[in-house]
Amino acid sequence: MDINKLLKPNKIAIIGVSEKEGFGGDTCRNVLEYMNEDSYYFINPKREVAFGKKCYNSLVELPENIDLVVICTPQHTVEQLIKEAAAKGAKAAVVYASGYSEVGTKEGKEAEESLINLCEEQDIALMGPNCAGYVNFINNISPFAFISEERNRKGSVGVVSQSGQLVLSMMDSPKTKFSYAISAGNSSICKMENYLEYLVEDEYTKVIAMYIEGVKDADLFTRVLKKAAIKRKPIVVLKTGRSEKAQEIAASHTGSLSGADKVYDALFEKFGVIRVDDLEELMSTSLALATMKKIPENNNFASMNLSGGETGICADLGELNGINFVDFAPETLKKLDELLPGYATPNNPLDMTATLSYDVEKFAQALDTVMSDPSVGIVAIGYTLLQDIADPAIYYMSEGIERVTAQKNSKPVVMIPFTENTRNSEYSEKLEKAGVPVLPTSNYAFKVLKNIADFVGYDAAKHNIEVEIPNPSKGEGSVLSESESKEMLKEYGMPFPDCKIAKSEEDAIEAAKEIDFPIVAKIDSPDILHKSDTGCVKLNLNAENEVKEAFNEIMNNAQKHYPNARINGVQINNMVASGTEMIIGVNNDPQFGPCVLCGLGGVFVEVFKDTSLCLAPVSRDEAYKMVNSLKGVKLLRGYRGNKPADIDAYVEAIVNVSRFACDHKDELKELDINPIFVYENNVCVVDALVVKK
């Protein structure tokens, strides 16, 4: 399969041309408008001419071979036309027809499977079915089924979408400019992952914007994300499916806290992918990254505004969105003090007052001064650029911006409006040519700034940019008892209290003597997961008679509440001192493999759900980042006079669990270590549960 034949064909044939509105007619209008006349052929046996151009009766009649066939006819005609196209040299096809797997019927699924088999047999790179085609803006190739207003859209954002309507919405927006706009449809042959790989390698694409509902080829997807991470090419993704309703009921805390959508969050975090919430954020983030001449060297911001009100808004929104407005260096403050009016105080965010905005020289000096601060990575200028310009400030400001950004060592600049108005196209384009994107209004703007900051702050060297994709499993799963779970984990350096399994009162007393008091007794059974809820755990036993009584009570409670449970006996454990209760878990995603979770443990895991997730393998840097992202990390660092806990040992345990998960990726479903006590100098695992596939 040669995707170049699909996206960069020399000759294309359009079958089912029409002068009516609709896919056939609108595709013709697009190719007539944007493509060279000798690069395409029209085919319709019922017409001699369409739009003044000759129509051929069939592919056979064409005077030369083609690379791509665009099929605008109904589903039942598609396969025969692909065979004819293959005979005419075509190695690619765009199929608009619906009625395949997307309708959910047996017939639709069978039709798509048949189409897949045919394309594989003929070595056809197929876009669709059920798609809207694509536009290659670099080479002016436009087999696209929707009409948009005529304008220059050539740029450097590569779009791939599973929704054709969203592609059209992006093209209708006056601000985004593209290298490619691809409506992938069902992605039966050429998958989303194939288009993504193409755009990662494409020299004309600076930024990739994606709308996805799911991933078909997890291995290829992760390999391409790794490639993009190493190349530092931004990928911005709008992924639907945040609802937890579709998640399977999990046997452990970990499973319920790390559902499918959270796995995507962890995947994107590992590879530095920017995840957004809606189409506006997708477009604005992509455009900003594509417009800037270079990626900022650091993610510290400076804000320059014309009023105190705007400055206050920036300060508040910056804090809400996690934007770091770095303190200016003393020499920066000194220079600004000389430039600003006497009633202005230099700070970051900066209120320049409106005075400077009417003086090209002074505005340029102020911008250059802020930009030259060694701690600043990017400068955000607050100004509302209206469609109809009344205030002439933008005339002077834009010239000052152009002067400064033209300098060899200039840093990225963005403009933030404070109300939503149609942007003045003349000055938007002037700023864009200077590498300055005009962002959406302030709330969205600061989300975009946060996205840029996160991308700039991502360092692939601090992440283990691999994933352990499991092989498909068959058969029924199983739950291990606590003692069996502990035996597996001991091999990975996980520390547990001393433990023996007692099958009788005598065994329990003897085990207690060997381990030493105080003792914890609890049922050992693969069928009893939540032991404390049913009286199957007894704590702080200090005498032989207490151990004997506890053994009998636990066994009776187990048989009462779980009459069919498999019972190995009663665990006799050394009772360890309480520490800070944390959790470590694993949920093995069928597509992307083991995900390691950490967070507050004990009962608090369900109450506060203060957790962090990372796809395995987890590097030490990733583990530290997970722990530091928790609100409960304050408890580990020492809170209200308490001594700090051993975060290093907790991180080591997370990394060891990651190794365990990777080694058992084909058999492990879930792992729950809850709680793991974190002490001043070490850790101890109190409870563990392994669930196999």
Q: Are 94 and 128 in contact (CB under 8 A)?
A: yes
Least Cα distance to 657 among 689, 625, 679 occurs for 689
- Measure Cα distances from 149 to 170, 171, 283 in Å: 12, 9, 18
What value does the mean pLDDT take over residues 241-254? 50
Sorting pLDDT into bands at 50, 70 and 90, what band is 648?
very high
Q: Are 582 and 601 in contact (CB under 8 A)?
A: yes
Both tokens of 74, joined, read 């109904």
Q: Which pLDDT score, from 0 to 100, does residue 438 have? A: 95
Is the pLDDT at 27 greater than 70? The verdict is yes
- Which helix (H) or strand (E) covers residue 372, if one does? helix 360-372
Spatial neighbors of 639 by CB under 8 A, at least 6 apart, are none
Is the pLDDT at 102 greater than 60? The verdict is yes
What value does the mean pLDDT take over residues 154-169? 93
Instruction: Tell me the pLDDT tens digit for each residue of 302-323.
Output: 999 999 999 999 999 999 999 9
Q: Is 387 helix (H, G, I), strand (E, B) or coil?
A: coil
Both tokens of 276, joined, read 């957004």
Q: Which pLDDT score, from 0 to 100, does residue 151 have? A: 84
Rg (CA), the chain: 31
Q: Would you give the end-to-end CA distance of the chain in angstroms? A: 35
Spatial neighbors of 395 by CB under 8 A, at least 6 apart, are none
Query: Which phi and psi angles does 438 have, rounded to 5°?
Result: -95, 115
Q: Are 490 and 496 in contact (CB under 8 A)?
A: yes
Q: Could you tell me which residues are beta bridge partners of residue 180?
A: 136, 158
What value does the mean pLDDT take over residues 387-415? 93
Instruction: Tell me the pLDDT tens digit for each residue of 504-557.
Output: 999 999 999 999 899 999 999 999 988 888 999 999 999 999 999 999 999 999
Is the pLDDT at 246 greater than 60? The verdict is no
Q: Which of 593 and 247 is assigned the larger pLDDT?
A: 593
Q: What is the assigned CATH class of domain 3-240?
A: alpha beta
What value does the mean pLDDT take over residues 640-668? 95
Q: Strand 40-43 vs strand 12-15: parallel, antiparallel, or unpaired? A: parallel
Is the pLDDT at 477 greater than 90? The verdict is no
CATH T-level assignment (fold) for domain 580-692: D-amino Acid Aminotransferase; Chain A, domain 1 (3.30.470)
Q: Which pLDDT score, from 0 to 100, does residue 163 have? A: 87
Average pLDDT taken over every residue of the chain: 93
Q: Strand 499-502 vs strand 569-574: parallel, antiparallel, or unpaired? A: antiparallel
Percent of the chain residues topping a pLDDT of 70: 98
CB atoms within 10 A of CB 422: 11
- Which helix (H) or strand (E) covers residue 297, if one does? none
Spatial neighbors of 6 by CB under 8 A, at least 6 apart, are 68, 91, 92, 93, 94, 125, 126, 127, 190
Report cis status (omega within 30 of 0) of the bond before 594. no
The region of weakest confidence among 13-17, 453-457, 642-646 is 642-646
CA 415 – CA 399 distance, rounded (Å): 14
Q: Which pLDDT score, from 0 to 100, does residue 259 have? A: 53
Instruction: Tell me the pLDDT tens digit for each residue of 486-501.
Output: 999 999 999 999 999 9
Q: Which pLDDT score, from 0 to 100, does residue 390 have? A: 80
Instruction: Tell me the pLDDT tens digit for each residue of 569-612.
Output: 999 999 999 999 999 999 999 999 999 999 998 777 777 888 99
CB atoms within 10 A of CB 491: 11
Is the pLDDT at 343 greater than 90? The verdict is no
What value does the mean pLDDT take over residues 221-231? 97
The reply to whether 580-692 shares the fold of 503-568 is no
What value does the mean pLDDT take over residues 438-467? 95
Q: Which pLDDT score, from 0 to 100, does residue 243 have? A: 62
Query: Which phi and psi angles does 410 have, rounded to 5°?
Result: -65, 155
Q: Which CATH architecture has domain 503-568?
A: 2-Layer Sandwich (3.30)
CA 298 – CA 455 distance, rounded (Å): 10
Q: Which pLDDT score, from 0 to 100, does residue 244 have? A: 58
- Sequence ranges of the domains in the chain: 3-240, 296-457, 503-568, 580-692
State whether CATH 3.40.50.261 applies to domain 296-457: yes
